[in-house]
Structure 1
């Protein structure tokens, strides 16, 4: 871990911000926001609901969020979510449609524009969805809402240091041990959901090529350290 810590400490906050803004999921939200500039609350709710439904996908996560942005840029709004799932998130559809109703009810109870504390949001989402606070979809929902807030307001949620990394399949290839990610965050000073962005993008070789050379070289060091 120590060599990895040394490499990660080379990233400045500005570079981490650039990594997030180059995330294809972030760029998808930028496109979607163009449609919802006058309806920010609905924009935030759509993002939260889709994040809560982001599991067992039939395509890569980046592609799924691009489909999401494209679909809802040309739809009426939240009432079209069932149709979206039937087209782009069909695995275990019956169970997902039940979960969708729960997610919509849950998110509808939250005054998203007033919730600017990530820890509070995790508490509320975990309670109404009946999941652990470190469950993948719960913490991923907070990550994506933070992206949405950055897109809409150029700001971030408070309390992000309380949020665990979303342990999906890509992150799990590196380590499924939550303690590993907590310690890595403590030693590098990089929040866990920011580490998530770094390790996601460094696993996508094609995406890496599109980044500025200096940043790409740093990410390739991470990639080499993890995968050899």
Structure 2
């Protein structure tokens, strides 16, 4: 059995490249390049920032096994819930999310389970959701408290992907454009195939024959990104944003093309760091890439 291990030298190199952008650079990247952030801003403009924050948290908890791409899903959220008007109570907001899940084709798989999940959280977290309705900035001020409440309401671990994602999407709705306040807490990086591949192409983890092994056993990959976060000063939720925007390229393209795509994309927002990040994230080709994929 091949044992995965973190390459400390590569951690330092990747962290050094990302630190050139800094946390403010990554926050700018979210605003300019992450379509999920843009969708949450449009939703906030339609229904108000507080209700949009509650919507984002509840919908994110049901954002799994979707029958459409993530970008299409969040556009559907913004369009459909944005057209429902401003909810006056938490109960009305919960009912609107259930209406959305019942009508958006992206939630077809496991729809009943997703609706029960939203009802459960709406009941258990009523006080927290009421707080977010009136003061959405609470998710920026006390993200760990919100995270703990979501996890407790579901009887789940705080590091579960949908639990952490719900706090991040609520933060996207709560944070107005130009507000440079990061989510000041760290979570284990969710290691999906996209992140697993870029973990290997950046050389952060050695040993596995292909990135699928990191998906099955993510502990070393999570440790590597935690170390990158600590050294670069960029919290892991925001590192995940960076990888969401450019992390598809090493898996879908050959090494040279992926490097150029990342450099070109990041040059729009963080030109001071684009070349260094592109170089370090494509340090080696992605093992078992398997050809082009949609992203």
Q: TM-score range by the shorter chain?
A: 0.7 to 0.9
Shift of 1:9: 2.5
Given that residues 185 and 195 in structure 1 are in contact (C-alpha distance below 8 angstroms), is that contact kept between their aligned partners in structure 2? yes
Question: Per residue, is there more helix in 1 or in 2?
Answer: 1
Structure 1 segments of 4 or more deviating over 6 A? none
Partner of 1:189: 233
Taking structure 1 as the reference length, the TM-score comes to 0.84
Question: Which stretch shifts more, 196-205 or 149-158?
Answer: 149-158
Gaps of 5+ in 1: none
Given that residues 117 and 157 in structure 1 are in contact (C-alpha distance below 8 angstroms), is that contact kept between their aligned partners in structure 2? no
Describe how 1:105-120 pairs up with structure 2 within 5 A. Answer: 105-110=123-128, 111-112=131-132, 113=135, 114=138, 116-120=141-145
What is the SS of the residue equivalent to 1:187? helix
1:80 aligns with 2:96: yes
Which of the pair has more CA radius of gyration? 2
Question: Which stretch shifts more, 94-103 or 144-153?
Answer: 144-153
Partner of 2:117: 99
Partner of 1:36: 47
Question: Which stretch shifts more, 123-132 or 173-182?
Answer: 173-182
* Inter-partner Cα distance in structure 2 for 1:171 and 1:10: 21
* Inter-partner Cα distance in structure 2 for 1:71 and 1:227: 41
Gaps of 5+ in 2: 1-9, 88-92, 200-213, 250-260, 287-295
For the aligned residues, what is the CA RMSD?
2.8
Given that residues 47 and 144 in structure 1 are in contact (C-alpha distance below 8 angstroms), is that contact kept between their aligned partners in structure 2? yes
Cα 1:156–1:16 shift into 2, 3 Å: same
Q: How many residues align?
A: 225
* Inter-partner Cα distance in structure 2 for 1:150 and 1:226: 36
Given that residues 139 and 164 in structure 1 are in contact (C-alpha distance below 8 angstroms), is that contact kept between their aligned partners in structure 2? no
